[in-house]
Each structure stands twice: as structure tokens, then as C-alpha cells.
Amino acid sequence: MSIHASKLFIGLVICSTALLSACGDSESAGPTTVRLLTHDSFVVSQPLIDQFKKDTGISIELITGGDSGAMVAGAVLASGSPTADVLFGIDNTLLSKAIEADIFSPYTATEADSILPTLGDDTSGGVVTPIDYGDVCINIDDAWFTEQRVAKPTNIDQLTSATYKDLLVVQDPASSSPGLAFMLATIAKYGDGWTKYWEQLRDNGVAVSGSWTDAYESVFSGGAGDRPLVVSYATSPPAEIVYAEEPKPKKPSTSVLTEACYRQIEFAGILRGSPNEEAAQQVIDWLLSAPVQADVPLSMFVFPARQGVTLPEVFTKFAAQVPAPLQLPAGDVNAHLAEWLKTWGQVMGR
Amino acid sequence: MGPGDGALNAPAWLKWTWVIPALFLSVLLGAPITMVVQHSLDAVSTFEWSSTLHIAALAALQAFTSTCVALAVGLPLAGALSSYQFRGRALTQALVTVPFVLPTVVIALAFRGLFGSLLQPGFLLVVVAHTYINLAVIVRIVGATWQQLDSREVIAARALGATPFRAFVSVTLPQLRGAILSASAVVFVFCFTSLGVVLVLGDSSTRTLESTILRESSLLLDFPAAALTSVLQLFVVTAALLIGARASMLRTRATPILRIARAPRPRLPRQRLFVYAIAISGVAIVLVPLASLALDSFRGQGGWTLQWWQSLTSIDSGTTRLGSPASAIAVSLKYALISGLIAGLIGVLAAMSVLTHRLGRAVALIALAPLGISAATLGLGLMLSFGRPPIDLRSWDLLIPLSHSLVAVPLVIAVVLPTLRATDSRAATVASALGARPTRAFFTAYGPTLRIVLLAAGGLAACVSLGEFGAASFLARSGDPTVPLQIVRLMQRPGDASFGVAAALAMVLVIGTVMLILGVDALGRRRTAR
Amino acid sequence: MNSGLELIGCSVGYTEPLLQAELTVPHGQIVAILGPSGCGKSTLLASILGTVPVLAGKVVVGGIDVTSLPIHQRRVGMVFQDPLLFTHLTVAHNVMYGLRRSGMSKPQAAARASELLAWVDLQGYENRSPLELSGGQAQRVALVRALAPKPAILLLDEPYSALDADLRSRLAAEVSALLREEGVTAIHVTHDELEAGSITDTVVRISENRLIS
């Protein structure tokens, strides 16, 4: 009995393995497949991909390259003989390193005129195309401030004052993307005085988390923690509504401090060495097309790069509009990032 | 005794079992490491030696402490689980393995929830989390040897005038020494190269070279520096594993066991008290952090809810990448099956070759390396090695289960080797005497053991694959994400639903793992029952 | 002179009584306990040894009430069905184990171990590993190991059952002679009538859950 049972088991294992790997095989899709390399958080509605195939005959195969950093690292290492045709999701902190490594084949999207003028700069122009953007800002747990009868902060200077002692949690810029963005925001805002600002934050009891998840879910009072201020995104409040429990609340319990936000722009580009360059160009155009751009807010909780796209109501109502987002020139970030991270580590003792 | 004994009637092919694992390793391990070492040379002159060595020292201290604590907690548990048979033993064993396969981010969140402000991120919290995760390594590896000790030896020592403590130290411990050392080496290496735990639960005192490599490779894109750091880490890891391996795995001498003594039932009240106290506290240690997770999967703003479980199949439906958690389960199972099969086969072959050929020992030693090679480095090394035409394997679907099995192979060897050693090779002699040809005689003696061992090894490897750690997270992949990746992604966005569904999915992973291990253990028990 | 062993009103078993035992073994006597398997022989030995406490009654070893003493303070020697030598120690160190526990110095213990090994015709085996011994040799080492610390009573639990018939009767006779030579009190449990009769002074039987001498 036992012998038969285990033979049967082995047989089943082998059969199902063969079956499953047959299902997973997507190599044979033909020449009109464009491989789109993205990071873990890329999402787009499936009907849009289906429609694209119907319109152009091009099917899109998504390849995930880990988080944004790992994906770019892989693409840089593979420069010239890429694993994919199009890369989406490189942001303005890593862009100039990637361009330096010559991983992209330059292309200007057909509808490049429609892009918000603030999003392009001389580094990206003509090489890659901005697809979406978002702002990293301090988020506020409104309920806490109401209960404690403390005024909500209106700019990040105040965070070093006694009123806000032990109230803020940030992320380690070396391991977290919003953490890095917030550090860059302070550099953009204070220039050489940024280390002094961090010394003051440190003395005022700022907490440092290793990841956004830990900061937002475990330390932030909007999650399970007790600190009412956290570094997150300007679009976190609408996400709170969209991903809320049914019945969904009328309005989010968090708000955004719109001063000293750092702007993250995500670009798409054609990878140099792609055998399908023409089809790849169509994919870039598709990413910038109105339907995809309209899909971007609720899929990834970012703003579309294209002008004149109607935003969903939850965005217009609750996503913070940042009047003057901060940004550093890509070249500066490229040149100084290692040194900044080291300095930050020294100041914060990490 | 070992399959190599009685060389006269051993089938000729037995000497060549090392070839397949050697090929497997040289392709999947040799090539990437060569690339990495090559890259590392460029960084030698500009490298920040002092700060890197400082981090290495910190990590070694942290790993040493974690290992000691894991031993202190794990040994009593291993003892209770392997010296007595009792109801719930299999379940306890299965539960202890769960933390090992959960994504670190889940464990980290569970611990943060459990300790709240009581235990802030830092050295202590990292040590606690590492102990939690690695309990399974101690219980499994040491338990495999402990199970084979005859409990009457301790009684013999007691009758000769030894106190219980003395009998343990002078009779039990020396026989466990090899297993303890090799388990400790594995735990040390896991803690030394830890990434997820130190990022979320650590502070400046718990940095590891792995976290440095991550920063160098995917933030600064400084590959030569990342490569050199990896090489440094590889040195420490190799040294630790060599110490562990020398003590146990590579001993060729078989441990003859005249008859495998079945562990007794705890029949006396004080034995019951001892066994159940330890087993229950072991289960409690494992379950308490998981319980908070289980509660999270049923808790909404307004009280208890089934919403998160119900939306397991529906959340994000209609979008691309997030697909549905249900599809993640399918993908995880597929990878688990494939890598279980590969790692089971390669690991068993490697374990056999340790006993049959000198080169086999070398192969088994090299097979240990993936335990401590930086996941980031291995991932990048694989991309470098297989990224040039005509062999572009980077987006090959099998690369991910293959890299899972790379990490599982050393664990398989550690578990399989003691069993193979304990198999009575005299049956082969008997079969030969009855006229069986060498191959036939070999399978008469080893067939039953091998079949069970292969299944158990495959199960273990499948668990490792379910947990998905190591190089795989750095490999590009097409298709839907696995369960651990899906959990991480859900947790990376705001909203109660994201968190609730992630918790529910984590529970699915827990239940899946427990079922898998229970199944494997049931197969293993069938052997002793025969 | 004290008796070697007295079982007074003993009720033997794990939780439920398996056997009632009333027994006195005079000093220097070798007693065989006979009974079918499963009748509680091994549990009885375990109760004398101390691994299973008696449910009621008293166990007196060499004149001392050991009922509530732990195993290592009872001065009861034990030889099992299997030799159970400590394979991580040499043959000599196995024999020295009990001597060292009773406080003897290392050189003294080593000398004594050599004497004892010579006594069972195993001189020259001191530094061997137990793994190199034959079944009969290993069982003889197990015997001197148990005898070395001079126990008040020696328990033999079917000590030859793992050996072949020829070797068994030879070793049984040898061991009996040795035990008599040293004047050791011993209890020999077996289910083999012949073995029991040939090597012991008295045969005690277990029937209907009672053992009475």
C-alpha cells in the first residue's frame, strides 16, 4: 500500500510539474510580443492591455524585476543585451545613473507635447518619457491632533520644535524609497544646512523605520503605532479610502502636509538592444495614451503625466495638490548620493 | 552503514553520483560567483575597508548571539520532540517550521505588533526574531540525530551513578555535537547574512554586509563595491560552514545503529509534564506572533469580519500584476513542486556521494555555499552569467525554482545524510548473496530509505520554495507573483483592506506550510513504523 | 548481613498497577525471574532501577530504602538486551565511566578498568572504539562497566537475547561464574527456562500479576 501510494504521489508530482510548466510557457508568443520590465508595484487594468493587443496586434508580457532599485540594477548590468524591450518605473533619483550606463535607446513619444511641462528636464528629454508622478510628503493622523488638541504642523521647520517632539516617524533612506525622497527634500530645501536640520530632528526624537510598511503600519498612529506624523505619499489618503473596509468611510482619517514634498517622477524608456524597437515605441505611446493615463491614479496611486486627464473623484477630493514640490537636479543626486547617505547615517547613528 | 560500505558489491555507478550535483552547482553557483569575483577586483583600491569590516564585526556579534539564543530555545524543544512519542508531536514539529518559511516582512510586522513599544527596533529585537525564524533549523537538524539516540544509554549512565545533568553532558551531548555544530553554523550564516529582519527590526548596531550589498547594488549601482562586499561575506560564510561541516556532515564513517529504537511514550506523570510543558511552550512561542496575524485577518474597523478572506480572490481583479491572491497560490505551488523535485533529487544525490566518493564530499561542501551567498549578488551574478546570447536564461521561467532549489539543497543534505548513514547496508550483502546483481542489491537495501528520504527532502525543499527567499527575489520574472511577494506588495500600500488581505494570505501560507510538513512527516513515520 | 534486595509490598506499573511484587534476594544470590513477555518483567526492573517509581511499597537495596532515591543514588547496576556502550568513548572510558562518577581519580579508574577488561579476556582493547567489538565482546564490556562501581545489585534484562544460541549459553555460563566469583547479587530476567535454571540459584515466576518468592 505504502509503496503504491508514494509511487502515485511521485507520479502526480511529475505530471503536475510538466503541466504547470507547460502553462507557464510564454516564450512562443511570436514576434509581436513586447516584454515590459517593471517593478513590483506596477499595476494596470487588464482590459487596457487586451485593447492594445486588439488595436495593434502587439501583446505585452510583463516582467517583474523586483523593487525599483533591483530592477534598475538588473537593467544596468544587462545594458546592451536587455531582458526586455521596454522599462517602466525608473524614477528621477536613479535616472541619471541609468542614462550614464547607456541602457536606453532614445525615443520621444508621439504625444510628448501633452506631458506636463514641469516633468521633463534636460536629462530625460528625448531619451525617456515621464509616465506618472507622485509626491512624498509628511502624512498626518488628523484624529490624533484633534484629540490631543495640538495644531497640525504646516511646514517641516516646526517638526524640530518641542510641540512635535517624538511625533514623527521617517524611513531609512538607504532602504526605503520614500525615506530617500524625504532626505532629498530636506537637502533641496535647506541646502548645506540639511545636516543641521536632521540633527535637530534627531534631538527632537524622530523615529526611523527600515521600511515604509513598518513606519506606516507599526509606528504611525494611523496604523498600529502611536506617532501621528509619518513620511508617506500625497496620495495615501485616497488610497486609504479605496482600500478601506466596506462600507467605505466618507473621508480619509489622514491628511497631508503639503510643504517640503519631494516629487518622484516615473519614466518609461526603450531598452537599448531591444529587437522590437518599433513595437516598443508603440508601447511607450500607449503608456502615455489617455486611457492608460486615466487608469494610472487608481491602479498605482500616482498622478498621470499627461495634461488634461480627468482624475477620479477620490483623487480630486482627497489627494493633496502640492503647490511647490521640491526636486534636485538628477546630476546632483547621481554625484552625491553615496556621500549624502553616509552623512545621514553618521548624523542619525545608523 | 554507508552505501559505500561493502565496496565489493556496490554498483559501479554509485561512485558517480557526485557528477550531477557537481554539474548543477557549477552552472548555477560557479558561474555567477566567478563573475562576481571578477567584478570585485575593480573595487579593491577605492573600497571603504574600515567601515565594511566594522559592519562585518557587528554582524558576527549579532549572528553569534542569535545562534546561542536559538540553541538555548531550540535544544530543549528538539529533545522533547525526538526523545518521546506523543500525540501532537507531528503538529508541533510542523508548526515550528512555519516561521522559517514566512516572508520576513510578515514576521517583522507580527513582532512589531506583539511587542509594540516594549521592544524598540534594535539588537534585542533582531536577536529575538532570528531565534524565532531559525528555531526550525535547530529542531530539524539536531532532532534528526537526536531521534536516533537510544534513550536507554542515558539510563545506563544514570545507573552508573551519573546525575541527570551529568548524563546529558557526558552521553547525550557528545553524540549531538556534530548536529549541533552544523545546525549552529547554518543559523549563524542565516543571521550573519540577514536582510529583511535587520532592515525592519534593526538599528545601527545590527547592520549586515547583506544590507550594505543591497545599498551598493540597487541604490548606488556601484557593482564592483557590491561584489567585493559579497566576496568578503562569502569568506566569513565559508569559514563558518566549514567548521560546521567538518564536525558532522563530512564524516564518512557511518553510525551503525543496530536497531532504531522507537522513541518511548512519556508514560510517567513527570515525563508527561516535561514533554508537554516544552512542547506547549514551543508551540506558544511559534503561535503567539502568528496569532496576532490571524486576528488581523479577521479584524476590521467595526469588529470581526470575513471580508479579507472573501476578497482573497477578488481584490485587484481586473488589473494586471496583482492578479489575484488565488493566482499567487497557484504560482507558489508550481514553484514549490518544481524546486522540491529538483532539490530533493540533487540533495539526495549529493548526500549519497558524500558516502561514496571523495569528490562527493567536496561537492557537498560547495553545495552549502548558497546558504550564505548574498541573495542580491547571486541574483545579479546569475544575470551576468546567463545574460549573453546564445544562452540568455534570465527570463527563463525555471530560473526561479532553480534558484529556490539552490538554497534548499544544503538543508536537504543536512537532513538526509544522517538517515542514509543509519540505513543498514547489510541488506545489500544479503541480497547479493541471494544472487542479486549489484544495482538490484543496492536498491533492495536502500530503496525504501531512498524513496522516503527523497519525498521528505522534496517536501522540505518545497517549503523553502514556498517561503521564497534568497536570490529569487532579485530575479526578473514574468507571470503572476508568488504568495510571499504578493503579501509584501499588499503590505506596501495604505488601507485596511490591503493589510487585512495580506494577513489572510499570510495565514494561507502558514496553513499550506503546515499541511505540507505534516504530509512529509507522515511519510517519514511510515518508515519507522514498518 | 544485609540482604541484596527486598521488595516489600511493591505495586509496579506506570499509572495502573501491572504487578504485585514481594521478594527478598539474599546477598550474593543470583535470582532468575521468569515470565511470559508482557507480564511486567521489564517494568519490575525499571522500578528497582528507579526509572519508574513504584506505585506503592518499598524497594530496599543493600539494606537501604531507595524507594524515593533518584537512579544515580541507588547503587543498582544494569545490563540491557543491547550493550548500549557509549560509542563516542573508548572501551576503557566506558568502563571508567561509573568509577569516575563514584569519585575515583582518573589514573586509578584507568588501572581498574584495565583489570576488569582483563578479567573478561579483553586486555588490549582499552583504546578501541566500541564499534569495533563483536556482539559478545560488547556485552562483556557492558557487564564490567556495570560491575565496575560495585553496585549493591546487578540487574540483567535478557542480556544475551541479541546473541546467537551458541554464544549465548557460553557467555551466560561465563558471566554466572564471574558473578559468583565476585559474590555479586544479581537479578536475571529472562523468558528462557533453560537459561534460567542453568545459571541461577533460584527461579522466581510471575503468574497472575504476582511475583512472590
Residue B158 CA: distances (Å) to CA of B161, C73, C75, C131: 5, 9, 10, 22
Distance CA A315, CA A321 (A): 9
Q: What is the ipTM of this complex?
A: 0.91
DSSP string, B289-310: HHHHHHHHTTEETTEE-SHHHH
Q: Which of A255, A287, A325 has the alpha carbon at shortest distance from A92?
A: A325
Residue A100 CA: distances (Å) to CA of A79, A131, A269, B225, C108: 11, 21, 14, 18, 80
How many domains are contained in chain C?
A: 1
Distance CA A193, CA A183 (A): 12
Closest chain A C-alpha to B176 CA, distance in angstroms: 31
Q: Which residues are CB-contacts of B501 (< 8 A; sequence separation ≥ 6)?
A: B308, B311, B312, B315, B325, B490
Residue A180 CA: distances (Å) to CA of A174, A176, B122, B321: 7, 6, 21, 25
**Is the pLDDT reported for residue C57 higher than 80?**
yes
Distance CA B520, CA B524 (A): 6
Q: Say if residues A146 and A181 touch (Cβ distance below 8 Å).
A: no
Residue with cell 560546521: B244
CB distance B163–C72 less than 8 Å? yes
Residue with cell 552508573: B160
DSSP string, chain C: ---SEEEEEEEESSSS--EEEEEEE-TT-EEEEE--TTSSHHHHHHHHHTSS--SEEEEEETTEE-TTS-GGGS-EEEE-SS----TTS-HHHHHHHHHHHTT--HHHHHHHHHHHHHHTT-TT-TTS-GGGS-HHHHHHHHHHHHHTT--SEEEEESTTTTS-HHHHHHHHHHHHHHHHHHT--EEEEES-HHHHHHH-SEEEEEETTEEE-
DSSP string, B338-377: HHHHHHHHHHHHHHHHHHH-HHHHHHHHHHHGGGTS-HHH
Q: Could you tell me if A276 and A127 lie in one domain?
A: yes
Closest chain B C-alpha to A13 CA, distance in angstroms: 7
Termini Cα distance of chain A: 60
Nearest Cα residue in chain B from A68: B218
Q: Say if residues A77 and B377 touch (Cβ distance below 8 Å).
A: no
Counting beta carbons within 10 angstroms of the beta carbon of residue B515, is it exposed (0 to 12), middle (13 to 18) or buried (19 or more)?
Answer: exposed
Cell representation of residue B488:
509584501
Chain C positions in Cβ-Cβ contact with residue B269 (cut-off 8 Å): 15
- Interface partners of chain C (CB pairs < 8 Å, 3 or more) are B
Q: Which of B145, B129, B167, B164 has the alpha carbon at shortest distance from B78?
A: B145
Chain B positions in Cβ-Cβ contact with residue C50 (cut-off 8 Å): 158
Asked whether at least 3 C-beta pairs link C and A within 8 Å, the reply is: no
- The shortest CB-CB distance from B256 to any of C51, C89, C131 is to C131
Helix ranges (H only) for B257-301 are 269-296
A3 lies in a domain? no
In chain B, ranges of CATH 1.10.3720.10 domains: 1-31+325-474, 49-296
Q: What confidence score (pLDDT) does residue C141 get?
A: 94
On whether any CB of chain B is under 8 Å from the CB of C15, the answer is yes
- The shortest CB-CB distance from B258 to any of C15, C72, C82 is to C82
pLDDT in tens, chain B (530 residues): 444 444 445 677 777 888 888 998 888 888 888 888 888 888 888 888 888 999 999 999 999 999 999 999 999 999 988 888 888 888 888 888 888 877 777 787 788 778 877 788 889 999 999 999 999 889 988 887 788 788 889 999 999 999 999 999 999 998 888 889 988 998 999 899 888 888 878 888 888 998 888 888 888 888 889 889 988 998 898 888 888 877 665 454 444 443 445 667 777 888 888 888 988 998 998 889 888 888 888 887 778 888 888 888 777 766 665 556 777 888 888 888 998 899 988 988 888 888 787 788 888 888 888 877 767 777 778 777 776 655 566 656 777 888 888 888 888 887 787 777 766 666 677 777 777 777 777 777 777 777 777 887 788 788 878 876 555 566 767 767 788 878 877 887 777 778 888 888 888 888 888 888 788 777 766 554 43
Q: Could you tell me if A152 and A129 lie in one domain?
A: no
A194 alpha-carbon distance from chain centroid: 24
CB distance A243–B496 less than 8 Å? yes
> CATH no. for residue A155?
3.40.190.10
> How many other CB atoms are there within 10 angstroms of residue C67's CB atom?
18
> Under CATH, which architecture does the B1-31+325-474 domain have?
Orthogonal Bundle (1.10)
pLDDT class for C154, splitting at 50, 70, 90?
very high
B40 alpha-carbon distance from chain centroid: 28
Q: Which of A20, A38, A43, A25 has the alpha carbon at shortest distance from A83?
A: A38
Residues present in chain A in total? 350
Chain B positions in Cβ-Cβ contact with residue C89 (cut-off 8 Å): 174
What phi, psi does B57 have (nearest 5°)? Answer: -65, -45
> CATH no. for residue C200?
3.40.50.300
> What CATH number labels B49-296?
1.10.3720.10
A1 lies in a domain? no
Cell representation of residue B162:
551519573
A2 lies in a domain? no
pLDDT in tens, chain A (350 residues): 333 444 444 443 443 433 333 333 344 444 589 999 998 888 888 899 999 999 999 999 888 887 888 889 888 888 888 888 999 999 988 898 899 899 999 999 999 999 998 887 656 678 999 999 999 999 999 999 999 999 999 999 999 999 999 999 999 998 889 999 999 999 999 999 999 999 999 999 999 998 888 899 889 998 888 999 999 999 999 998 888 877 788 889 999 999 999 999 999 999 999 999 999 999 999 999 999 999 999 888 999 999 999 999 999 999 988 999 999 988 889 899 999 999 999 999 87
How many domains are contained in chain A?
A: 2
Chain B positions in Cβ-Cβ contact with residue C51 (cut-off 8 Å): 155, 158
Q: What confidence score (pLDDT) does residue A202 get?
A: 96
Peptide bond into A47 cis (omega under 30): no
Amino acid occupying residue C58: K
For an interface test with C, which of B84, B158, B160 has the most C Cβ atoms less than 10 Å from its Cβ? B160
Q: Say if residues A65 and A75 touch (Cβ distance below 8 Å).
A: yes
> How many other CB atoms are there within 10 angstroms of residue C60's CB atom?
18
Q: What confidence score (pLDDT) does residue A193 get?
A: 95
Domain extent, residue A52, equals 12-134+263-318
- The shortest CB-CB distance from C84 to any of B152, B161, B256 is to B152
- The shortest CB-CB distance from B112 to any of A81, A97, A214 is to A214
CB distance A213–B221 less than 8 Å? no
Average pLDDT, chain C: 88
Domain extent, residue C23, equals 3-212
- The shortest CB-CB distance from B159 to any of C77, C131, C162 is to C77
Cell representation of residue C84:
548500549
Nearest Cα residue in chain B from A47: B318
Q: Say if residues A229 and A159 touch (Cβ distance below 8 Å).
A: yes
A4 lies in a domain? no
